[in-house]
Amino acid sequence: MVTMQQLEELENKVVKALRLIDELRLENSKLEDENEILRGIAEEAKLAVEERDQEVSKVRKELKSINRELKDVRTNEDALEQKLMMLLSKLETMGSSKAVQKSIKSKVASTKKATKKKSKSDNLSNEDTQENYLMLNDNLGEIILEDDGDQDIIGTSDDEGFIVIDDK
């Protein structure tokens, strides 16, 4: 049989085990609370990372688009520069700038007279446009000569590059 002393020892062991169980439950509860807090932080971090990934993706797309636009602008710039150089070389081959200016003025003046007569006979309402422009076709496209009062402006119809020849 079990003696009284053994019973007391067993009772002490049970009480001690119950205290340890309570301490473990308390510790477990604290750990679960801490775990929930950490899960929340992890979820927030995950969402923040996803948002940043989306922002990075958006910025990369914008950067690609901007790079394409820049490439297009540079290509257009190169084409315009080549056309300008061709026009300048044509102007140089035509002779001195004074001779070019006189030639352009005479062509503009004769075109003005012809367009005035034509506009009157055709009843065209936009005389200013007809009076101030001369278009010539060459193998590069149309060359536009514009009379702007004191200046003559030379350009091509397919670009926005113009050469201004000042009469003064």
Residue ranges of the domains in the chain?
1-94, 95-168
What integer best gives the mean pLDDT of the chain?
Answer: 75
Contact 82, 159 (CB under 8 A): no
Q: Give the H/E segment covering residue 162.
A: strand 162-166
Enumerate the β-bridge partners of residue 144: 135, 155
Span 39-79, pLDDT tens digits: 999 999 999 999 999 999 999 999 999 999 999 999 999 99
Assess whether pLDDT exceeds 80 at residue 149: no
Contact 165, 97 (CB under 8 A): yes
Three state DSSP letters for 83-134: HHHHHHHHHHHHCCHHHHHHHHHHHHHHHHHHHHHHHHHHCCCCHHHHHHEE
Side chain identity, residue 24: L
